Amino acid sequence: MIHSRTIEILVGAFMAAGLVAFFFLAMQVSNLSASSNGEGYEVTARFDNIGSLKVRSPVTMAGVRIGRVSKISFDRTTYEAVVTMRVETEYNVIPEDSFAKIFTAGLLGEQYIGLDPGGSEKYLQQGSEISLTQSALVLEEIIGQFLFSKAEEGDKVE
């Protein structure tokens, strides 16, 4: 029957179009290749204050995204935040004494971790801990410090 064959072809075309649309969303819109997860190795870092850093926040080096934050936990003995990041396998030559800082993208943007390379011959690997860290800048604290120093200056003048 010709009629039912046309229907089959149209249905096939519809399903193909739907799948292509999905593929488009996956590849072109969300860039599947860049968000490969599961691959890579995990390193940890301790911060006094992580600000508004979240799981899945980017980890960058020289502005290039090399991984993502995979877990954030709280150490009850030292009162520090323990951030676990998953770094992609291809970036496996990061010196052990690299410096991890929490930055803010733009004035109001999201927070991310930036790594500054150190000089060590040893490289970070699965389970390593980054010991040199700098906490997030909290706007209120900076303003507070600024006002405090201004007030001190004023006291000296008098």
Partner 1 sequence: MLDSLARLGRIGIGVLERLGRGHLLLLGMLRGVTDLLPRPGLLIKQIYSVGVLSILIISVSGLFVGMVLGLQGYYILSQFGAEQTLGVMVAASLVRELGPVVAALLFAGRAGSALTAEIGLMKATEQLSGLEMMAVDPVRRVLTPRFFAGFISMPLLAALFSALGVIGGYFVGVGLLGVDDGAFWAQMQAKIDLHEDVFNGAIKSVVFGLVCTWIALFQGFDAIPTSEGVSRATTRTVVHSSLAVLGLDFILTALMFGD
Which residues bind to partner 1, rule: CB under 8 A? Answer: 4, 7-8, 10-11, 13-15, 17-22, 24-26, 28-32, 34-35, 37, 54, 56, 65
Of the two residues 35 and 78, which places its CB atom closer to partner 1 in the complex?
35
Smallest distance from partner 1 to CB 114, Å: 16
Label the pairing between strands 58-61 and 64-75: antiparallel
Q: Nearest approach, Cβ of 6 to partner 1 (angstroms)? A: 9
Minimum Å gap between C-beta 150 and partner 1 is: 31
Question: What 3-state DSSP class applies to 75?
Answer: strand
Sequence letter at residue 129: E
Q: Which is closer to partner 1, CB of 57 or CB of 98?
A: 57
Nearer to partner 1, 6 or 125 (CB): 6
Nearest alpha-carbon partner for 72 in 53, 90, 96:
53
Across the chain, the runs of DSSP E, i.e. the strands, are 41-47, 58-61, 64-75, 80-87, 99-104, 111-116, 129-130, 132-134
Closest CB to partner 1 among residues 31, 77? 31
Q: What angle do CA 37, 28, 14 make, to 5 degrees?
A: 110
Shortest CB 129 distance to partner 1, Å: 26
